[in-house]
Structure 1
Amino acid sequence: MSFAEIFTVVVPVFLLIAVGYGTGRRALFDAGGAQALRELTMQLALPAALLLSIWRTPRHVLVEQLPLVGLLAFGFLAVYAVLLGVLRLAARRSLRRAALFALACVQPQYAFMGTSVLGGLFGTAQAAVPIAVAGIIVNVVLDPVVLILLGMPEHPAPRTATAGAAAPARQPALATVGGGAPEASAAEPAPAGAGASGPRPSVLRTVGHALREPFCWGPVLGLVLSVAGVGVPEIADSALGLLAGAASATALVYVGVSVARIGRPALSPAVWAVSLTSVVVLPLLVYGTGLILTSEAVAAQAALILAFPVSPVPLMFAARHGSAEDVRTIGSAVVLSLLLSFVTLPLIIELVG
């Protein structure tokens, strides 16, 4: 595929994001409107698209994707664990900040931008399986693990409270997987250390909460139906297809609106580090690893899933569980990585072919 053909696919995606940015800057979507747009995307359109795409995929094709599952698990989970350890032990970051920043480095906007870009490059059917596989890994494993880490206390609770000291406000132990944190929370971040007190949240409760989200159980249900050999009924195919058709447009417009609400990025070293890790280092690392361990085709699929800019989901987690500085840094990384990806994404597509 020529560079001109790549830009023909990529540029319309960024134009639609620019439309969302313009509507956000003109306040055509207030906080309630932006929340409704996000809910349409994350609770209805994208889950329907993932459910239908993986349900349509024959069982033998899913079995053939096991090398891709392993490579994406390496890119999401193993790299996350390494970054978490480096930030926690070498950089001496708190557990909460290390968990948030490591997540920002490894969780891309594959759900928001992948359907449009990869579908335009390779066709909707061929692009659907990697996106669905990534959705299962991220939403069933990675994000619940991060939520558990965010709910853990930083230090042992003192035996006695200082006389007259007010008890710290308890933050919700769970944030909705896939972007369900209220829009207002992004504008009103939790204070540093919030949520550090109180008992450790139940692992089963955290995973159960994640599995109740449509963006999480949609791909899982599609996987179960495909493996069981259940065909897609014509009525369900038509209904889900209509809903899934809104996924690409609403997701891209929401990206633009969310970027407009974040504002101008603060170009600190941490912001550059997170952004470059997300759009350059991680996809190239996974591509090189894939060439060694699997095939070129599998390596290319995994690298392209990971080549998208930083997802808004870590920003939503930071608004619930982090400090104002965490929100500013991760929000700035979302914006900067999006700007960088206008150049890096076509180059990586050209590289992996």
Structure 2
Amino acid sequence: MLQILLISAPVYLIIAAGFSAVRFGLFQAADTRVLGRFVVQIGLPALLFHALTRRPLAEVFDARFLLVYGPASLAVGALGLWWQRLRGRSLQHAALTGLGMSSSNSGFLAYPIVVQVLGPTAAVGLALAMLVENLLMVPLALALAERGDAGTRSFTGFLRVLSGLPRSPIIQAMAAGLLVSALEIPLPEVLTRTIGLLATASSPLALFVIGGSLVGLKPAAMRADLALIAGGKLLLHPLAVLGGMALLPGMDPGLRVAAVLYASAPMLSIYPVLAMRFDLDRLCAAALLTATTLSFITITAWLWLLRAGLHWLPVGG
């Protein structure tokens, strides 16, 4: 258990440092947004490009990972949407509930934990998880939410979301990395080292930004919704991924662990931002705070299960 805490505790201590820095005035909230822009625009793209170009395409593009992680995410998202519609919630509310339950904060929070467990394999798992999140889950959820607007067709909303994807630095970095890997283009050593340094900076800065962004968030009287979203994200999503592996065995052992750990992370840090258009940002911010706080316990429990229960991790690893 001590070894497991040594993996998860430093991550949450950096989050606590970011929270304290903003809470006590050392940084302003606007300062952390600048750091967040660096992570999203430069750090994470560098990390993904660096990971994808250091391995052959056959090792990077793991179809089994996608065939487990994608359908599992869709199933959990659909469950959240169905339950909220059953409760009489709007399609917008239901779609964003499903998104919160099924899309992880892979780059900002999960990666710093997974890399301690798996090393370089963590970045490959990150790229695969982000393919599912950015190309499937987020566009689909936003398209469904758009359909809740009077007179808006879901397909039109879906196309509008898709049209913005090529402008994303993360999508551009993944496409460039896959191209370099597929064509086996040699990169100059100085460029590889530079990109590697930028990639290294992304993890601690991302955690610091998460902590700063939590200052001032106050969960209101939304207990049923918060329990559904946070519980679905932290428990049902990784459980669905774990169940998918039973139906499709044979995945690379490292990526198998990565899939569960990425699914066990809280929802996307931009979750409240995505909800602003639909006036659901308060609910989503409260869900983000709740899930991030509880995830210290749940991720530690998943690490223990993978090591002591399923023996997927070596005792000393």
TM-score scaled by length of structure 2: 0.88
Change (3 A) 1:226 1:265: farther
Q: Distance in 1 between matches of 2:101 and 2:124?
A: 23
The answer (yes or no) to whether the contact 1:52–1:222 under 8 Å persists in 2 is yes
Query: What is the CA-CA distance between 1:268 and the residue it aligns to?
Result: 1.0
Query: What is the CA-CA distance between 1:78 and the residue it aligns to?
Result: 3.6
Query: What is the CA-CA distance between 1:31 and the residue it aligns to?
Result: 4.0
Change (3 A) 1:16 1:330: same
Q: Distance in 1 between matches of 2:303 and 2:49?
A: 26
2:133 corresponds to 1:138: yes
Query: What is the CA-CA distance between 1:54 and the residue it aligns to?
Result: 1.4
Paired position in structure 2 for 1:149: 144
Paired position in structure 1 for 2:64: 67
Q: Distance in 1 between matches of 2:227 and 2:284?
A: 10
Change (3 A) 1:211 1:141: farther
User: Secondary structure of the residue that 2:89 maps to in structure 1?
Assistant: coil
Change (3 A) 1:300 1:200: closer
1:207 counterpart (162, 166, 189): 162
User: Secondary structure of the residue that 1:112 maps to in structure 2?
Assistant: helix
**Cα deviations across residues 49-79 of structure 1 (Å, max 9, x unaligned)?**
111111212223125x211111111122343
Query: What is the CA-CA distance between 1:273 and the residue it aligns to?
Result: 1.4
Paired position in structure 2 for 1:302: 259
The answer (yes or no) to whether the contact 2:114–2:258 under 8 Å persists in 1 is no
TM-score scaled by length of structure 1: 0.80
Between structure 1 and structure 2, the one with the greater Rg is: 1
The answer (yes or no) to whether the contact 1:94–1:154 under 8 Å persists in 2 is no
2:297 corresponds to 1:340: no
1:76 counterpart (73, 81, 84): 73
Range moving further from structure 2, 144-153 or 281-290? 144-153
1:10 counterpart (8, 11, 15): 8
Range moving further from structure 2, 125-134 or 31-40? 31-40
1:109 counterpart (93, 105, 121): 105
Change (3 A) 1:261 1:55: farther
User: Secondary structure of the residue that 2:214 maps to in structure 1?
Assistant: helix
2:90 corresponds to 1:94: yes
Paired position in structure 2 for 1:21: 19
1:246 counterpart (201, 204, 209): 201
User: Secondary structure of the residue that 1:5 maps to in structure 2?
Assistant: helix
Structure 2 unaligned regions, length at least 5: 308-317
Tell me the C-alpha RMSD between the 2 structures.
2.2
Q: Distance in 1 between matches of 2:131 and 2:22?
A: 30
Query: What is the CA-CA distance between 1:150 and the residue it aligns to?
Result: 3.0
Supply the AA of the counterpart residue of 1:99: A
Change (3 A) 1:230 1:344: same
Supply the AA of the counterpart residue of 2:289: V
User: Secondary structure of the residue that 2:144 maps to in structure 1?
Assistant: helix
Range moving further from structure 2, 304-313 or 204-213? 204-213
The answer (yes or no) to whether the contact 2:102–2:137 under 8 Å persists in 1 is no
Q: Distance in 2 between matches of 1:300 and 1:245?
A: 22
Q: Percent identity?
A: 26
Query: What is the CA-CA distance between 1:352 and the residue it aligns to?
Result: 2.0
The answer (yes or no) to whether the contact 1:287–1:300 under 8 Å persists in 2 is no
Paired position in structure 1 for 2:124: 129
Greater per-residue helix proportion: 2
Supply the AA of the counterpart residue of 2:132: I
Paired position in structure 1 for 2:313: none
Query: What is the CA-CA distance between 1:121 and the residue it aligns to?
Result: 1.1
